[in-house]
Amino acid sequence: MSVSINIPFTIDEPNPDGFTVYTKQYCIFCDRVKALFDKEKIAYTVIVCDSYLEYFKGAFLHFIKERSGIDYKTFPIVFYKGRFIGGFTDTETFVIKENAFANIELGENDDF
């Protein structure tokens, strides 16, 4: 069941064409996932969530739950082409251990 919440601002949607990292200040794992993408030369969109968390935490967490399908409350929050990946470890597995980088460049990994 989907619940509609009226919020006085817009939360940026995950990028439908690549990686999106929802991040916050002073987050070591957020920095690590961005460093991973930089190292692998993978383009990504960063959405800084400090204001969302300070003023509209409940609405932001609801937004993430609606898009991820789970009650996810840790950072970073990573999506690939609009699909939820997880945090740093999940993203590292997706990019490195499963050799997804080659498939991402070729656009072959749309149905992971």
Q: Which pTM does this prediction carry?
A: 0.80
| pLDDT at res. 34 | 97
Sign of the dihedral through C-alpha 13, 53, 73, 89: positive
Please write the tens of the pLDDT for every residue from 14-70. 999 999 999 999 999 999 999 999 998 899 999 999 999 998 999 999 999 999 999
Q: Residue 111 has what DSSP assignment?
A: T
Judged against a pLDDT cut of 50, whether residue 1 lies above it is answered with no
| pLDDT at res. 6 | 54
Q: Where are the domains of the chain?
A: 19-106
Name the residue with higher pLDDT: 6 or 12.
12
CATH code linked to domain 19-106: 3.40.30.10
Contact 68, 85 (CB under 8 A): no
54: part of which helix (H) or strand (E)?
Answer: helix 50-68
| pLDDT at res. 40 | 86
Judged against a pLDDT cut of 90, whether residue 7 lies above it is answered with no
Contact 44, 32 (CB under 8 A): no
